[in-house]
Amino acid sequence: MTTTAPPTRVHAASRPDSPWWRQAVIYQIYPRSWADSDGDGVGDLPGITARLPYLRDLGVDSVWLSPFYTSPQADAGYDVANYRDVDPLYGTLADADILLAAAHDLGLKVIVDLVPNHSSDEHPWFRAALLAGPGSPERERYLFREGRGPDGDLPPNNWQCVFGGSAWSRVTSEDGQWYLHLFDIRQPDFNWENPEVRAEFEDILRFWLDRGVDGFRVDVANALIKEAGLPDWDEPLHLLGDDEGVVHEPNGKRAPMWDQDGVHEIYRAWRRVLNSYNPIDADGYSGEHDRILCGEAWVDSQERIARYVREDEMHQAFNFDFLKTQWRADDLRNGIASSYAAADSVGAPTTWVLSNHDVVRHASRLGLPVGTKRPNGIGVGDPQPDTALGLRRARAATALMLALPGSAYLYQGEELGLPDSTDMPDDVRQDPTWPRSGHTERGRDGARVPMPWEGNRPSYGFGPSDQTWLPQPASYAALAVDRQADVEGSTLELYRALLATRRERGLGVGSLSWWEGLSEDVLAFVNASAAGERNLVITNFGVEPVVVPEGAQALLSSSPLGDGGAVPTDTTVWLTW
């Protein structure tokens, strides 16, 4: 089949020598669950270091490590008590230095998590604030307020916390004051209007930059500044937005705790700090050594997300709209086009992502009927995903994502096609979402189960013992790394081929033009290099097999092709011609 319509250009190619972060594939390691060196059932830094060659062989450019800092683990480490040290659960600062050096020796960059919206309640500043009492400068580092009502025993406003319940907790009735926590009760929000907080975080950035990290993933980057006066807000505080995308701005009114314009001046200041570490070569090129900021900002539109990646702010911001898009050709086509329009308007790369530690893995999500509201965890008694369909669509979705120009994040285990653990007993769950939502939202444990490395070993090779901090489903044995390595057609080998081909053919810096003329259930585009080398990418969402254009040669496909190279349903193929 041929087409007569000229391709519609959506995005122009970048320079082939663009900075690394404009096209990097970055692999998220969730340290608790990747590799355990000492058998206590919790992953750790020495475990990660020992397994890094696996990532070089997989073909990623960088890793992002979720938090490994000193923490009582009330929110799995997103509650930091000391931003400049490693929790003994994960190792020591010396282990972090060894990990960094080992990664760099393998040619991998390392991005660490930065959690600036809140600390742990065990942070020395919060402890000092409690002791120092109302009116003290120590309290000014957090958001303490008097309560409402005659005795001040009602919260200062009606905000709900993301995990459920009030966003305020009272110190004690004698003390009288309340503190704000948008997340768990053990995660008090900092007061970012206080210059002391700003200075402290710039110093924390320097601490890790001096140790050699290549950048930071910035946790809830859209939350640091709250609207003055902390006005009431009647809507629930979902972190991820609903599936229509709009929660932060219902009826045209911006939520007082999300995406306030004041956050941007913080990131401009951070960019100045990072730029002082980004040396420019004799030929004026700095890209190979750039240290970067990647924002986690759950905001309502591509236009709002683009504001975080303006030239003097962050380098990247996750494209969560893509993650939230339903498995429909039109929805994806529109989402991809609007992503490029917004990112290109500020000269930033798009940053694609399908899975992370906060959402149901895409191999499970895509196994639910199209149109299902995205669940916050799946558990016993919930509608269960179709595992085979989910995996097939997940492989097609990843092959689509990795053909898109820009940067992409992978979440550990997706290269094995891991599903969420969806039948985990509720009494082993650890995410505060489950109790705080009054046992209505299962939360995120299903995506956080320890990695299977060797199908025949206790804990599937996660560590030297049979301990795992969350139970691994029996289905993980057959998906273990050793069961998939060098096995033709395995998901692991598909990821390796996608990453190698993407790199060889420069897909991360190519242009994108729609290829018109195929059925409306098909998404098709050409990714062309600046030199004009063309890659045709086709994803078939329909039931009818799609005949590919004459003369096109398949480079790889997410599922086996049919007669004459036809593309079957729920399959992505990369072609050259």
State the Cα–Cα distance between residues 468 and 210, nearest whole angstrom. 34
Answer with the entry of ligand GLC, Mg ion, Ca ion, none that 358 interacts with (C-beta below 5 to 8 A by kind): ligand GLC
Of the pair 86, 305, the CB lying nearest Mg ion is at 86
CA–CA separation, 179 and 257 (whole Å)? 14
d(CA 575, CA 577): 7
Q: How far is the CB of 37 from Ca ion (least distance, A)?
A: 6
Minimum CB distance to ligand GLC, residue 287 (Å)? 27
Cα torsion at 65, 69, 75, 81 (round to 10°)? Answer: -150
From the list 78, 179, 192, 409, which residue makes contact with ligand GLC (rule: CB under 6 A)?
78
Burial of residue 160, with CB atoms counted within 10 A of its CB: 0-12 exposed, 13-18 middle, 19 or more buried? middle
Q: Please answer whether residues 419 and 475 qualify as being in contact, where contact means their C-beta atoms are separated by less than 8 angstroms.
A: yes
Residue 420 interacting partner from Mg ion, ligand GLC, Ca ion, none (CB closer than 5 to 8 Å by kind): none
As a whole number of angstroms, the distance between CA 88 and CA 85 comes to 9
Q: Which of 48, 96, 100, 115 binds ligand GLC (CB under 6 A)?
A: 115
**Contact string (CB under 6 A) for ligand GLC, positions 48-77, x = contact:** ---------------------------x--
Cβ atoms of residues 182 and 237 within 8 Å: yes
- From ligand GLC, Ca ion, Mg ion, none, interface partner of 204 (C-beta below 5 to 8 A by class): none
For position 189 contacting ligand GLC by CB under 6 A, the verdict is no
Contact mark string toward ligand GLC, 230..269, x via CB under 6 A = ---------x------------------------------
Contact with ligand GLC (CB under 6 A): which of 358, 415, 441, 445?
Answer: 358
Give the 3-state secondary structure of residue 214.
coil
Q: Which is nearer to Mg ion, 26 or 86 (CB)?
A: 86
Helix H or strand E segment including 212: none
Partner from Ca ion, ligand GLC, Mg ion, none contacting 92, C-beta within 5 to 8 A by type:
Mg ion
When the beta carbons of 321 and 570 are compared against ligand GLC, the nearer one is 321
270 or 515: CB nearest ligand GLC: 270
Amino acid letter for position 549: P
| 484's tokens | 């998939």
352 binding ligand GLC? (CB under 6 A): no
- Sign of the dihedral defined by the CA atoms of residues 371, 25, 485, 358, in that order: negative
Residue nearest to Ca ion according to CB distances in the complex = 44
CA dist 204 and 488 (Å) reads 46
Q: Hey, which residues between 26 and 45 contact Ca ion (CB under 5 A)?
A: 36, 38, 40, 42, 44
Of 322, 392, 340, 415, whose CA–CA distance to 540 is shortest? 392
Q: Using CB distances below 5 to 8 A depending on partner kind, what does residue 220 bind out of Ca ion, ligand GLC, Mg ion, none? A: ligand GLC
How many Cβ atoms are within 10 Å of 390's Cβ, its own excluded?
A: 23
Of 166-185, binders to ligand GLC (CB under 6 A) are: 183
Burial class of residue 407 (count of CB atoms within 10 Å of its CB; 0-12, 13-18, 19+): buried
> Cα 27 to the chain's mean position, in Å?
9
* Position of minimal CB gap to ligand GLC: 78
Of 18, 82, 92, 387, the residue at the interface with Mg ion (CB under 5 A) is 92
Stretch that binds Mg ion, among 82-90, 298-306, 337-345, 409-417 (CB under 5 A): 82-90
- How far apart are CB 529 and ligand GLC at their closest, in Å? 34
E strand spans, 478-533: 511-514, 522-528
Nearest distance, CB of residue 184 and ligand GLC, angstroms = 8
Distant-in-sequence, close-in-space partners of 47: CB < 8 Å, separation ≥ 6 = 34, 35, 36, 37, 463
Q: Which of residues 38-97 bind Ca ion (CB under 5 A)?
A: 38, 40, 42, 44
Catalytically annotated residues: 219, 296
Distance (Å, whole) CA 48 – CA 208: 18
List contacts with Ca ion (CB under 5 A). 36, 38, 40, 42, 44
Q: Which residues bind ligand GLC (CB under 6 A)?
A: 75, 78, 115, 183, 219-220, 239, 296, 357-358
Residues binding Mg ion (CB under 5 A): 85-86, 92
